[in-house]
Amino acid sequence: EAQVTQNPRYLITVTGKKLTVTCSQNMNHEYMSWYRQDPGLGLRQIYYSMNVEVTDKGDVPEGYKVSRKEKRNFPLILESPSPNQTSLYFCASTYRAPGQSLYGYTFGSGTRLTVV
Amino acid sequence: AQSVTQPDIHITVSEGASLELRCNYSYGATPYLFWYVQSPGQGLQLLLKYFSGDTLVQGIKGFEAEFKRSQSSFNLRKPSVHWSDAAEYFCAVGGVGYGGSQGNLIFGKGTKLSVKP
């Protein structure tokens, strides 16, 4: 089954303790992206990657890191989490046909992160 | 700046009634438009997309949307709502940009749909 898999689904951590949220897709998509979803603010892009070793900042990158060493994986790293990073996080992937727009993201099921 | 506005935060309709969810966008180039649905505790599922061509697009679950360039709108419709349609709906815009805009979809803040028996 074509899917984007995120782990963990739920995570409670303490301020300052480094954490990684993993994301993997099995569709051979070039594009991958991380979004956070907050009440009243909708979805905002954190980082995205156009291919292996190619990443770029989205709208809210502060406090996050990403890497894309393999095409299928795109982990999100919080080096020193803070309470304002408490949110629902989504990983997504997509592809672009030649000369076309991005097809439309396939989203993972989400990771609910609480930083206390 | 690019933006997406969903004017209705919450809509309640009766089961079997018709539905229209509004979406207005601001985008400097040719827009590519999407509607997603999010059920409670779930990720987002793509309902339909518009890239070019026929301005009335059909999606999954009986939904359709119409692109109106003159009104900068991309409203989602369904002729007869089912209780299982209760969810949150997001409109998004993207484009064939280069550089930083390539990977980004800009989302509206969502419209929550409740369905009453």
Contact flag B90-A50 (C-beta cutoff 8 Å)? no
B99 Cα to chain A: minimum distance (Å): 9
Whether pLDDT at B53 is above 60: yes
Closest CB to A41 among B94, B102, B109: B109
Gap between the Cα atoms of B62 and A14, Å rounded: 45
Q: What is the chain B residue with the closest CA to A105?
A: B46
**Residue numbers in B near A101 (CB within 8 A):** 32, 51, 94-96
Tell me the one-letter amino acid at B53: G
Mean pLDDT of all residues in A75-84: 97
Q: Could you tell me the CA-to-CA distances from B88 to A19, B21, B41, B56 in Å, in that order?
A: 29, 11, 11, 22
Q: How confident is the model at residue B99 (pLDDT cuts 50, 70, 90)?
A: very low
The per-residue pLDDT for range B75-98, each reduced to its tens digit, is: 999 999 999 999 999 999 875 454
How far is the C-alpha of B111 from the C-alpha of B19, rounded, in Å?
12
Is residue B100 over pLDDT 50? no
Q: What is the pLDDT of residues A4-52, one digit of tens each?
A: 999 999 999 999 999 999 999 999 998 999 999 998 888 999 999 988 9
Contact criterion met (CB < 8 Å) for B105 and A41:
no
pLDDT at B42: 84
Overall average pLDDT of the B53-67 stretch: 93
On whether the CB atoms of residues B4 and B107 are closer than 8 A, the answer is yes
- DSSP type of residue A105: P
Tell me: the pLDDT tens digits for A17-29? Answer: 999 999 999 999 9
